[in-house]
Structure formats: C-alpha cells, structure tokens
C-alpha cells in the first residue's frame, strides 16, 4: 500500500442527469477513483453501480455491483462522503448512479491503461516509451528467416513490432482478407515443416526477453475472405438474401451492372460510344445513358417497393361487400392509409393494412355504386403511393449512377488512382457488391434464383467503407440504402460478417471469432483493431472481454476515422482502447506537424505541480503517433526523401507512443501495398554495403538516425521529461523541447523539414539563430540527410529495397564545439542565474536534425535543488532533483509546521486573510495586478483563490503568472507584509523570505510553478495549524464544517485600532500589545467583523446585532471561548438605556437605534454559559462600564465596574420600566435618510401580554433594517419593513432569556428573581416567573393565524391572507404589517438574506425529530440538499465565504457583502445540530 499522500486519487463529482458516455476518463492501475456527490445530489439517497469487479472476482460486462459509501468524518453532511474503486486491472469499466425511484440518472466509463512488461526481468515498458514498427507478415518469408528480418526493428531502436495478421490469407492476397482465422499461414513453413502457433509463441517470447520487444497483431472482426471455406458452410454468418432480404433489390442492381461489365468487355456497347477502355468524359456520359436507357428499365427496381393495385382493390371490394368493419385496436380509430413493407422484398409484395383502408375509405352506403366509388378512391390513392415509391427509387438510381461514375473516374482516369485499364471480367467496371458462386448465366436466369432459398443464401454482401457515414450505424442492416445507392467503397475480396445482436443470433460465428481472439491474446501482447470504426461495438466489446480474460494487460490500439473526438471517445470508452493511431502524414506542413506533437501529449514547460488528490478531468485518447502508417501513401512521393529524418525526429519528440512502418527508414520510394506486395523484406547484416537490396544495415537509408531518435524518445519518457514546448522557428524549422520538471533538464531537438524536394525547391540559406535558455551540456545527436554515390534506386524483383543514394551523417554525444551543424554559440545573461545561449547554425540543411541536452545554469540548478529539498517537508514528490543545503539559513532551520504552531488564530487572520480596507489600516492594501484586478485578500487566501483556477488548467498565460515571470514584486509583497509584524508572524515572514531568495534565482519560466508550490505548502500548514487551535467538532469535522470554520479566522481579527472598548483589567487571559500609534500598552482583543469587504474596518467593523447572531457559530462552536467571553464583556460595558449598540463605533460613536441587539447579546451569554465548561462563571466577571448612566460621558476603563449579572439585571429592569429617548446628534449627520420621528427610540414590555414592544413606522429597530433612500420613488425615510410593535423573534429571544434567568435563580447563580417597577405612580414587583408564564400564555393567542372565522383572538379577519402561520409581529401601527410571513425564503426557499436559512433549517430538524424517524430522515435529506448549494458556493468563492444576501433563487447580489459573519455562523450551527 502506498502512503496516502503518495497514492494518486482522482475525484469524480456526480451531477444529476449528467451523462458522460462520450467523455473519456483515463486512469492508471494503482490509482484510486472516488465518486463524490455534486450539489444536485447531496442529501439524496444515491446508489452508484459499477461493473468493475470486486477483489478476486472475474470481470463480467453486465454484472454491476453497488459501491459502498464511506463517510470519513462520520458526520451527517455529504461534503466528504465518497465511494471508490481501487484500480488494479486494465480495461474499460462502466458506472452509473441513481436516486429515489430513478435507477439511472447519469453515468459514464473509465478506461484503465494496461501495464506492459519486457525483458528477462519483466521491467515495465511505459506507454510513452513505445516505438512501434509495422510489418506486412506475408513479406517476412519462412518463420526461420523472421529473426534476421525482424532484427532490423531491434537494431533501429524499436520496442514493439506490429504484425499484420499471420493467418491464412484469402485469394486476393490482401493482408486483411483472411481465409481461415484459426490457422497459422502454412506459407510461413518451409517444405517438410509445419509450424504452428506454439512456434510463433516461442519466437515472440525470445523477442520479449532477449530483445526487449513486445509484439502485437491485428484482429479483423468485420469480414472474412470471400473464399473462406467456413463461410460457404455457414452462409448465415454473412449478409445474404435469405437473412437480409432487404438487400434483394441491391443484388439485382449488382448483377445487372456485372452483365454491363461483360457486355462492355465483349465490345457490345462500342457502337453506343462505350468501349471497354474508358479514357474520357464522353465515355463517362455514355455509362450514364446506358444505365438509364438499358439497365434501370430492364430491372425495374421500384417494383420491390410497390403494391399490386388490382389485387389490393379486389381484396378491399370483397371486404366492403361482406360489411367488414375496421378493428379500432389495429387502426387506432384514425384514418390514414398504412402500407406494410413486404419483409421478403418481392416485386409488388407490399401490402395495405386493410384496417387502415376501411377506416380511411368509407362508402356512403352498402350499395354497389357506393362500394365502386369507394374502390375508385382507394385505387387513386394507391397509384399515388406507388408513384412516390417510384420517385424514391429514382433518387437511389441517380445516386447509384453518380457513385458508379465516380468509382470509374478514380480507378481508371485519376492520376492518383490505380489506372486499371480496359473493363474486363478480372477488372470489372466497378467492384461487385455480392458474391456469385455459380457459373455464368443470363440476367433473366439469375432472376429466377431469387425464388430458390438454397441458392440465395450464398449471395453474400461484401464489406467496405462508406464516406462520411455514421460509424455507430451498421450500413448492411435494414434501414440503410448504402448497397442500392452504390455508396459502399467495396472490398470485393471480403464478405461482411453478420453477428446480429448477440451470440444467440449467430452462434457459430460468435464461437469461431472468440476462439480466434483467444489464440491471438494467448501469444500476442496486444491487438490492433482493424477497421475499428465499422466493427459493431457490441462485437468488439465481447471479443476484447474474451481477450482480456486470457491476457489481462492487453494493449489495444486502433485507427478511427469518425471525424469526431466525441465519437472516438465512444469507441475508446466501450472497448478500452489504449492508444489511438495518429498520422504525421495528415500534416500539410511543418507547422501543422509541430502542432500535432503539442496536441498528443505532455504538459506545458513550467507547468504547476498537481496535488495527488485532485478532480478527475476529461482527457484525449493516448496517441500512437506514427511518421507513416502502412495505409498511408509514400512520404517520399508526397514530400521528399530528405524529409524522412526530420519528420521522424519531430514525431519522436512527442510525449506519447510513436512509430513507423518497415520501409520508411530504408527510404522505399513507393507505398508497400498490403494487397499486391509479394517481395520479401531485407534481412539485417551489420556489414551489408549500401547498394545491397536483400540486406539492411545501419548504412541503409536513415536507419542510424532512426536508432538515435528512437533511443532518445525512450529515454525522455523513462526519465520523466513530461513537459513539451513546440517552437515554429521558421516555415520549415520546428524546435521541440522536452523538459523534466524534477531535474529541470531539457532536450531541445531542432529539425529542418523538407516537405518539398531540395533539388527542385530553393530553400533559404539564412537560418535564423536560436536562443536556448540554460547551459548546453552536450549535443545528444546531430544528423543530416546527405547524398552518396552508391548507385541509384532500381526496384528489386525479390526484395523491398530502398533508395541507396541517400544516407545519414550522424554524430552522437559530442560537445558543442565538435558540432558541424552549429557555427558558434554565444552566452548572454538574461537576468540573475538565467543564461541564454545563442546558437548560429552553419549546416542545418533541409533534412537535418540537431538535439541539445540543456541544464539550468549551474547556480540556478543548485538553487532549484535546494528549493526542492525544503519543499520535501510538504510532499515527497519533490525528492527527485533535490539537493541538501550545506548552509541552511537560520530562518529555515526549523520546519515550517513548528513555526506555525506558535501562531494564534488572530495571527492566522493576518497570514491568511484581511481584505483591502483592513490592510489599508496598516498602511498597505491588497496586491493589484496592472491591467487585471486586485486580490480579494492581502493574505495567502487571496493568491490561493486565484491559483485554484490557474493550477488545474496550467494557465501559464494568466496575468498572475505573467507578473511572476516579469519581476519580483508579488514575491516581495507576500513576504514583506509579514516581516514587519511582531513575533511568530515575523518568523513565518523570514521563512518565506529565505524560500523566496532561492526562488528569485531560478529561471523566470519556472517561477510560477515553484511560487505555487511554496504557497501550497505554507497555506496547507497554516490551515492545519488553525484547525488544531479549534474545537474537536471542527478538527473531526467534514470539509464543509472546516470551510465554514475558516470564517472564524476570516472575520475575527485585531486591527491597528482596537475595535472593542477595553474589558476589565481584573480579567485573566486578555491579550495586550504596545500600541502601534502611541507606543503605550493596550488591550488587543479579537473583534468580529460583520462582513467583508464593506464592514471590516474602522467604526463600521463591529455591530451588536451581527456580532451576537454570529458569535455562537463562529466562536463558541469553534472553541474560541476566551475571545467570545471578551467580546460579550466588551459590549456589556457599552450598555446604555438598557440597550446594546447596533453600530459599536468603538463604543464612543455607538448608535443605540435597535431593539433586538440586546436580546441577541443575552442569548449569547446563555449560549456561553451552557456551551462552555464552567461557562456560568462569566456572570460574575467584572464589566467596566463606559456609560454607567444614560447621560454620562464615556468613563475611563476601570472607573466604574460591576459584575455581568448586574448589567443583565439592568437591561431587563429598563425594558420592564420602559425605554424612551431620542438618539444623540439626531439628524442627517448620523443618518442622511431617516425622518425626524425615526430618531425617537421606544422599547418596553406590554403589561397585557409580556411581549417586548416598541419602535415606530419611521425607524427599523430589527434585523430587517433597509431604509428607503429615493426621493423619486417617494420612499426616502420610509423603512421597507418597520416591524414596530412586538417582532416575533424578539418575543422569542426575550422568552428564552427570562426562562433562563428563572433557572439560574433557582440554582443560586443569579441573585434576582424579578424587578420593581413604577406603574401608574405605584412601585410594583414583577417576578421573572410571572413574566415567563405571561409570554407563554399570550403567544399562541396573539401570534397564531388559525384561519378559523370564529377564532375569538382574531381581531382583523379581513387582513388574513395566509393561514396556519405565526405573524411577523403583533401590534404594528399598520395592522396589515402583522400578517406578513417573513422572511419569505421559508416558503419558496428563495434565499434573499442568507442567515435566517440556518435558523429555519435548525427549526425544521428540531420539529422533525419530534415527528418520528421517517420525517426526520426526509428532513435531513432536504437540509443536506439546501446546504449543498452553500457548500458549492463556499468552495468556489474567491472570498471563501457566504454572502450577506442574494437575489432571487440564490443569484449573485452586487450590493451584498461577499462574505458575512452571520451567514457562515448560522450554517455552521445547522451542521452542528446534524
């Protein structure tokens, strides 16, 4: 087992209704794949199914098992819940998921790559190390000679050989037309020997163990040779006229065209201007006229699709006479004539559905005249419909004529065609579409065979391909008109195989092909799926399953011509294709060839280091990039002989599998035909002269150059050179860089292509110089294609020989000064430790290649090694390429985690967060990128939020990366803002400075990657340190819980100016500092910002209501008890008029204009007392009063002190007595929009109900405090929701407090049992028990809206518009206001204010528990689902927070704070309750 941090884990987020069948996910064995729930599925009961087998079970494609969910935190939220697959076997595997009654609401595939092993020691051959060479097997001669012929592959540096099929070939001798799929071709055995598959196995084993070469071969599932004996015995295995009668019309046309061929060959059309030898357009027009005048009228194809009108009308007449009525079950009771296609496709065989005829043509009566009239209508309609069929067939015939003529043009007239010459029986006008295994007869005689099933079953459809056809459709099945329209480009030597839907449809064929597959998989390490895009998917799927049962790590390659990456993915996914063949020959110029290298593999140079646990991202299929395939035309003919070396060097620099075809390296100047070539390949002889045709050596063609580039390709892949950069130096020169991200070595290969022949095309002598960053260690190779005197090319009769007149001049592993290609190399410095070598070329002639091995400058190499050494404390992936530091700077002598452990959560607020206005208090600000934007935070989170998007996409062009490459400004900003701080924070700043000192001295293109690595290290260490300082609820919590808890670090900090008034000096654990302004000792208690960025600094940072709604979630649940206590006591000191200020304004600028803050404060004291161990002791803590009386000036700290319980008593006493005052400084100075009456504050307890009541319609004393501001809308000074009277939540909070005080008094923890107040001139005692009971008795009567018209408590039945709710308030000045249901999210879940959602969900859970298990389970599901949107927002938000409010349906609201304390706190409380 790998340790968890080294194990590669990929996470796939499942989203409802997301089908990923056409998305490719590639994974390696040893990876773990985790399925997690996306927001649309959180809270649902989701089941994930996969056919990846359980440990020890065999794979069965249709056997799905349910994956088990893991919940690492054991908690009820779904943010970390996952189920996983431990990937230990290769192949294609499917998954799907469903929830509730939906069995499948999404799914997809994963493809796990095989592990290939070679050599006697069975070492791994990475897929990107593969260099493959294709051999046409029939050109290898006897098996005894194979080692000598195959040795060319080994001596040229190939690691894999691809053999075309080794089975017995059909009579066409095409490599892909097999007569017998089960036997080893007897022609490979010399006389007197009979080699078999076992002998092949011995040879392949030798190649694997001694030569380190693996072997693959083709599997051909789509067709068999037309002369295969088994297909004659089992004609049901092909498409014949018995099992596929829809092909009968096409067969008739095919026979007619064959008879046209024989008549042309016999000269019978010469008089009509159509000779056997077709040479011009006049002959082509003659073909068309013969088709239309002679062929089509004779065979009358339309009759196969028509109805016999007379017979049908007669049948209809008899039905009418007998009074037959239509069967409504069959006709559906709807008129409309239905024609039934004759399943046997006979002439005039189509039938009319008589029920539809009777429904459509209804006589007025049963009289003979009316019946005849009705039959006349039917006859007319049938003639019309037959006419339509005639028209459709006419269109088919037009297309057939076009396709026939098009074929003739290619085969007989086109320059690039085979020029077949005169029409003859051997070379017919066009290839036949069907086999005809009988002697010649006339067309009329052949037509009679259509009635003889024992003959018809032997007319088998040939295979071929259809230009632009849908590859997922079988063109021979019913519904396709390919054969009648002659659209098939036909292989006349092969019969298309008919598998049906499964083994039950053609048992012999399935069993036969499975046996063929198993033989192949037993001996070969992999297969190439021939004609893959036309092979029925379910067939290839089943066969590959059988192959993998024999050889689990089967390497599967294919060439797809679908024209669509999405459709390619369907094949790759379903079949588990490892590599798709890609052709360099598809490039029209060197620029395009370079682009293909970039496309088919590797990451950009300087790419970011990705975490081991990361999202699973779609990929493109692994490429097998070939300089030429055995199907391509000859590159020497299309380009030039000089291009062979540079183009194969460009291909070899690709970060994927590469390869070629035998003959390319030997400069064979023509395509080696898979059908016609019968000569043998030359054998290897190291001392063979260049002129030898039967032997090859390193002198032959570009063999020596190919060996060098193949070796280089393997070395780069094996040593982790996974980064790629392609530079188009000029129109013909391509430079490809491969870079190793751990050692920072590079290899730069410069190739000068020769797409046009240098003998006929004038290439420029001015080769632009190249600038290569770093130090050139050596020239790995330099090779030039040159002419030599070894005779000129003459095609040999016995051997596939190449052009002896060209060879390669090659030098390997030389110093720069020994190079004959480079004239000089100058070194220029591009900044500290960044050297650039300017290369001026002398002999980079067309057809040349030079490859440089480049290191960083020695100093930079040393420093990057040291940097990696220090990064190993975060991850072992930095070990490779690391260098121990001999002279460790003092700042780096302790591991970062040790320095971090000394930080407080207030320090971590500075390190991680602080928005622009917080930072400006200290004279700084958030970093701004010119031309882009500023970071959200000055701390690490600001950068991490940007890098979270940049890193996974390797977006090196991002403004942040550009800034880092251009200068050290950002690097200095990050460290310098910490260096100037006090204590442990400065030490972290020094650690960063020391790390950045190394960073600044490495090449600029590497800086973004290493800057990110340092930041990831320090950020994750900081998060760990933060969680360690929090409660066990957070430490053991889910990702969601921890993200919310970070809100506590984000919101709670200490600014340059103390935001809280001082607490009593008699209290323990109060932090002090020297004031940065006065230098005097002062308290530096943490304060809680209401929201960022608007309420974060200065007098607008702290608000009573916001602080105490958020305090339980952000401070008590996170374990920040001391800091919570200090905040409670600091606010207690500001009590005035019996109220806690809304805007704290450091106490001196406080506004006492809200009725609810004091009750939230009292609730927090209760929460503190119950949640914190010995929490009730807070009641005795001394409070230093700022305003001992309503009108006193602010007192000095410590001047007036009293215990907290006295302050609580005063708040309750003042409410029972009644509070009424006018705000100080009332007027536009403190509120520009408020009307004069709004500055009058009233709060009291209604003696009739016990409810706290107050306010007026011009002020808003509760949390819904939006004041109208518009003169135009006439709402200036008018609150949107005044909520005067008794607001429902204040009644609830006061009830909670009074009940608690009663309990405290009983326990002897609170000295008062009530208060004495003056009412109507008398002193009256009000006990808390009495007050508590009064609220309890009054609440239902005054707040519940029953909807009962006789309800005696309902004073305003006319205002009721919703029933079964609690009113928003009671006793409002405008009675209608009481009947609102607020906030409205509780009905529609439209989130406007976020924080009430928390209370709503907590209430739902609380009541659901009382209603039983089932209700509770459903409620938990709802809660998870609602919260999943919050989790998604939190994860994706650059602020790492939840906003204050949103627009309808949770849409972004631009006026809101981006992250609000109470939003985070109340959601965290829900998770705590869960």
Q: Which two tokens stand for residue 404?
A: 């026939």
**Token reading at 1462:** 């109470």
Residues 6+ apart with CB under 8 A from 1454: none
**Long-range contact set of residues 1185-1191: C-beta below 8 Å, sequence gap at least 24:** 1185/1133, 1185/1135, 1186/1061, 1186/1133, 1186/1134, 1186/1136, 1186/1147, 1187/1134, 1187/1135, 1187/1136, 1190/1136, 1190/1137, 1190/1221
Using DSSP's 3-state secondary structure scheme, residue 1018 falls into helix
β-pairing, 160-163 vs 214-219, is parallel
Q: Establish whether the linkage from the previous residue to 1383 is cis, with ω within 30° of 0.
A: yes
Distance CA 43, CA 1389 (A): 16
**Tokens coding 1102:** 């702290």
Residue 164: CB atoms within 10 Å: 23
Q: Are 176 and 218 in contact (CB under 8 A)?
A: yes
Query: Which segments of 700-794 are extended strands (E)?
Result: 723-728, 733-739, 746-752, 770-773, 775-787
Helix, strand or coil, per DSSP, at residue 83:
strand
Is position 283 annotated as part of the catalytic site? no
For residue 696, which of 706, 685, 705 has the smallest C-alpha distance?
Answer: 685
Taking alpha carbons only, the member of 543, 459, 520 closest to residue 495 is 459
Q: At CA 712, angle to CA 710 and CA 714, rounded to 5?
A: 70
Token readout for 7 is: 């194990």
CA distances from 995 to 969, 1415, 1440 (A): 15, 56, 27
Q: Six-digit token pair at 1160?
A: 């939230």
Read out DSSP for 803-872?
-TTEEEEEEEEE-GGG-SSEEEEEEEE-STT-EEEEEEES---TTEEEEEEEE--HHHHHHHHHHHHHHT
Residue count (the chain):
1474
Nearest one of 1443, 1459, 1441, 1439 to 1451, comparing CA atoms: 1443
Let me know if 631 is a catalytic residue. yes
Spatial CA neighbour of 163 closest among 184, 180, 182:
184
Calpha distance 558→563 (Å, rounded): 14
Task: Please pick, among 530, 545, 627, 643, the residue that the annotation labels catalytic.
Answer: 530
Distance (Å, rounded) from C-alpha 134 to C-alpha 663?
Answer: 9
Query: What is the separation of C-alpha 161 from the centre of its chain, rounded to a whole number of angstroms?
Result: 34
Q: Which two tokens stand for residue 1323?
A: 């002193």
242, 463, 1391 from 455: Cα distances, Å: 9, 20, 76
| Cis amide leading into 1093 (omega within 30) | yes
User: Cα separation of 1320 and 1323, whole Å?
Assistant: 8
CA dihedral 1341→1347→1352→1354, nearest 10 degrees, is 70
Q: Parallel, antiparallel, or unpaired for β 1182-1184 and 1219-1222?
A: unpaired
Active-site residue identified among 246, 458, 533, 739: 533
Residue 86 and residue 98 in contact, taking contact as beta carbons nearer than 8 Å: no
**Interaxial angle between packed helices 507-523 and 537-550, expressed in degrees from 0 to 180 and rounded to the nearest 10:** 40
Q: Which residues face 1222 on adjacent strands?
A: 1240
For residue 823, the SS3 value is: strand
Find the catalytic residue in 277, 631, 949, 1190. Answer: 631
Q: Is 533 a catalytic residue?
A: yes
Determine contact, residues 585/637, Cβ cutoff 8 Å.
no
Instruction: Point out the residues that are catalytic.
Output: 530, 533, 631
């Amino acid at each position: 087992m790998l340790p968890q941090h080294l194990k590669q884990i990929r996470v796939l987020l499942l989203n409802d209704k997301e089908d990923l069948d056409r998305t490719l996910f590639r994974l390696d064995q040893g990876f773990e794949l985790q399925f997690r729930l996306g927001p649309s599925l959180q809270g649902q009961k989701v089941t994930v199914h996969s056919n990846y087998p359980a440990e020890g079970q065999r794979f069965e494609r249709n056997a799905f098992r349910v994956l088990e969910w893991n919940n690492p935190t054991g908690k009820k939220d779904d943010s970390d819940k996952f189920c996983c697959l431990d990937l230990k076997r290769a192949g294609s595997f499917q998954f799907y998921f469903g929830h509730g009654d939906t069995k499948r609401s999404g799914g997809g595939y994963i493809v796990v790559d095989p592990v290939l092993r070679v050599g006697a020691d069975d070492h791994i051959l990475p897929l990107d190390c593969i260099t493959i060479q294709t051999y046409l097997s029939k050109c290898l001669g006897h098996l005894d000679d194979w080692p000598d012929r195959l040795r060319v592959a080994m001596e040229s540096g190939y690691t894999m050989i691809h053999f075309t099929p080794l089975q017995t070939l059909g009579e066409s001798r095409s490599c892909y037309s097999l007569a017998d799929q089960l036997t080893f071709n007897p022609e490979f055995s010399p006389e007197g020997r009979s080699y078999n598959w076992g002998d092949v196995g011995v040879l392949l084993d030798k190649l694997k163990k001694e030569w380190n070469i693996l072997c693959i071969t083709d599997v051909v599932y789509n067709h068999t040779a037309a002369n295969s004996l088994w297909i004659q015995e089992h004609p049901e295995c092909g498409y014949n006229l018995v099992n596929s009668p829809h092909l009968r019309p096409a067969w008739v046309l095919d026979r007619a065209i064959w008879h046209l061929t024989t008549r042309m060959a016999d000269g019978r059309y010469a008089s009509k201007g159509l000779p056997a030898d077709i040479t011009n357009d006049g002959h082509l027009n003659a073909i068309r006229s013969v088709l239309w005048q002679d062929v089509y009228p004779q065979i009358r194809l339309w009759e196969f699709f028509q109805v016999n009108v007379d017979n049908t009308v007669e049948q209809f007449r008899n039905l009418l006479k007998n009074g037959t009525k239509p069967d409504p079950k069959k006709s559906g009771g709807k008129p409309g004539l239905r024609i039934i296609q004759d399943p046997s496709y006979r002439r005039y065989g189509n039938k009319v559905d008589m029920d539809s005829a009777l429904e459509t043509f209804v006589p007025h009566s049963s009289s003979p005249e009316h019946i005849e009239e009705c039959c006349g209508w039917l006859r007319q309609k049938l003639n019309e419909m037959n006419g339509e069929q005639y028209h459709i067939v006419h269109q088919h015939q037009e297309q057939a004529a076009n396709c026939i003529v098009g074929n003739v043009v290619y085969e007989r007239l086109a320059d690039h065609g085979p020029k077949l010459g005169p029409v003859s029986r051997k070379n017919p006008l066009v290839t036949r579409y069907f086999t005809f295994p009988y002697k010649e007869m006339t067309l009329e005689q052949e037509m009679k065979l259509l009635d003889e099933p024992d003959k018809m079953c032997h007319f088998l459809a040939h295979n071929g391909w259809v230009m632009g056809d849908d590859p997922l459709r079988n063109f021979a099945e019913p519904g396709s008109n390919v054969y009648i329209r002659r659209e098939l480009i036909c292989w006349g030597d092969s019969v298309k195989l008919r598998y049906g839907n499964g083994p039950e449809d053609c048992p012999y064929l399935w069993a036969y092909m499975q046996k063929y597959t198993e033989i192949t998989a037993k001996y070969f390490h992999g297969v190439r799926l021939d004609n893959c895009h036309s092979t029925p998917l379910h067939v290839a799927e089943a066969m590959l399953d059988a192959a993998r049962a024999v050889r689990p790590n089967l390497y599967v390659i294919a060439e797809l011509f679908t024209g669509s990456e999405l459709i390619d993915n369907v094949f790759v996914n379903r079949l588990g294709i490892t590599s798709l063949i890609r052709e360099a020959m598809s490039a029209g110029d060197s620029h395009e060839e370079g682009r293909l290298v970039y496309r088919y593999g590797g990451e950009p140079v300087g790419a970011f280091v990705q975490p081991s646990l990361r999202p699973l991202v779609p990929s493109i299929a692994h490429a097998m990039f070939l300089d030429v395939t055995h199907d391509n035309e000859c590159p020497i003919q299309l380009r030039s002989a000089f291009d062979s070396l540079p183009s194969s060097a460009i291909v070899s620099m690709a970060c994927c599998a590469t390869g070629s075809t035998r003959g390319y390296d030997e400069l064979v100047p023509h395509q080696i035909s898979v059908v016609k070539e019968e000569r043998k390949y030359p054998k290897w002889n190291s001392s063979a002269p260049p002129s030898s045709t039967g032997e090859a050596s390193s002198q032959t063609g570009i063999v020596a150059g190919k060996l060098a580039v193949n070796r280089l390709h393997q070395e780069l892949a094996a040593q982790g050179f996974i980064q790629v950069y392609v530079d188009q130096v000029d129109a013909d020169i391509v430079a490809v860089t491969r870079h190793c991200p751990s050692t920072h070595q590079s290899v730069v290969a410069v190739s000068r292509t020769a797409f046009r022949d240098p003998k006929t095309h004038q290439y420029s002598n001015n080769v632009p110089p190249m600038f290569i960053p770093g130090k050139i260690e050596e020239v790995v190779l330099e090779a030039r294609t040159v002419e030599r005197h070894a005779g000129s090319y003459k095609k040999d009769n016995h051997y596939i020989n190449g052009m002896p007149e060209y060879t390669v001049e090659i030098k390997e592993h030389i110093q720069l000064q020994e190079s004959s290609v480079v004239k000089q190399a100058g070194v220029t410095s591009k900044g500290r430790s960044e050297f650039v070598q300017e290369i001026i070329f002398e002999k980079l002639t067309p057809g040349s290649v030079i490859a440089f091995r480049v290191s960083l400058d020695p100093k930079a190499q040393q420093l990057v090694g040291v940097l990696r050494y220090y990064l190993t404390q975060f991850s072992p992936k930095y070990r490779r390429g690391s260098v121990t530091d001999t002279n460790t700077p003092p700042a780096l002598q302790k591991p970062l985690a040790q320095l971090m452990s000394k930080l407080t959560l207030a320090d971590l607020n500075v390190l991680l967060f602080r928005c622009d206005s917080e930072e400006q208090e200290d004279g700084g600000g958030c970093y701004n990128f010119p031309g882009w934007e500023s970071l959200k935070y000055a701390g690490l989170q600001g950068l991490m939020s940007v890098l979270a998007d940049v890193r996974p996409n390797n977006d090196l062009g991002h403004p942040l990366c550009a800034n880092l490459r251009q200068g050290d400004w950002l690097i200095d900003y990050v460290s310098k803002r910490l260096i100037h701080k006090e204590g442990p924070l400065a030490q972290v700043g020094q650690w960063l400075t020391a790390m950045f000192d190394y960073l600044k001295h490495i090449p600029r293109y590497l800086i973004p990657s290493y800057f990110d690595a340092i930041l990831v290290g320090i950020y994750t260490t900081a998060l760990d340190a933060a969680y360690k300082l929090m409660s066990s609820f957070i430490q053991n919590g889910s990702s969601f819980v921890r993200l919310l808890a970070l809100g506590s670090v984000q919101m709670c900090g200490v600014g340059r100016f103390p935001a809280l008034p001082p607490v009593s000096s008699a209290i323990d654990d109060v932090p002090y500092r020297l004031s940065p302004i006065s230098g005097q000792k002062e308290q530096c208690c943490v304060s809680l910002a209401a929201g960022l960025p608007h309420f974060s600094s200065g007098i607008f940072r702290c608000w009573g209501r916001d602080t105490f709604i958020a305090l339980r979630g952000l401070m008590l649940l996170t374990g920040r008890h001391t800091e919570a206590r200090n905040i409670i006591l600091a606010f207690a000191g500001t009590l005035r008029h019996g109220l806690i200020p809304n805007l704290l304004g450091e106490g001196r600028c406080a506004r006492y204009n809200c009725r609810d803050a004091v009750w939230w404060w009292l609730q927090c004291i209760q929460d503190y007392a119950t949640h914190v161990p010995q929490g009730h002791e807070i009641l005795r803590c001394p409070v230093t009063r700022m305003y001992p009386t309503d009108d006193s000036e602010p007192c000095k700290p410590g001047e007036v002190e009293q215990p907290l319980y006295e302050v609580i008593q005063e708040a309750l006493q003042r409410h029972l007595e009644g509070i009424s005052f006018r705000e100080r400084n009332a007027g536009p100075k403190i509120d520009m929009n408020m009307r004069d009456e709004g500055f009058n504050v009233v709060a009291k307890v209604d003696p009739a109900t016990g409810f706290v009541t107050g306010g007026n319609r011009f002020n808003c004393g509760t949390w819904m405090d939006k004041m109208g501001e518009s003169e135009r809308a006439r709402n200036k000074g008018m609150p949107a929701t005044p909520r005067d009277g008794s607001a429902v939540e204040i009644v609830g909070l006061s009830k909670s407090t009074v009940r608690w005080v009663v309990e405290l008094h009983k326990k002897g923890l609170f000295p008062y049992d009530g208060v004495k107040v003056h009412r109507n001139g008398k002193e009256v005692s009000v006990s808390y028990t009495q007050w508590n009971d009064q609220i309890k008795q009054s609440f239902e009567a005054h707040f519940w809206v029953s909807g009962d018209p006789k309800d005696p408590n309902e004073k305003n039945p006319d205002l009721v518009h919703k029933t079964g709710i609690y009113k928003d308030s009671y006793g409002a000045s405008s009675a209608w206001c009481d009947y609102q249901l607020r906030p409205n999210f509780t009905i529609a879940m439209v989130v406007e204010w976020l924080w009430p959602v928390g209370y709503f969900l907590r209430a739902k859970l609380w009541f659901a528990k009382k209603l039983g298990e089932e209700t509770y389970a459903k409620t938990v599901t709802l809660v998870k689902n609602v919260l999943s949107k919050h989790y998604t927002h939190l994860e994706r938000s650059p602020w790492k927070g939840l906003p204050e409010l949103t627009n309808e349906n949770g849409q972004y609201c631009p006026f809101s704070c981006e992250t609000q304390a109470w939003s985070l706190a109340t959601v965290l409380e829900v998770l705590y309750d869960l």
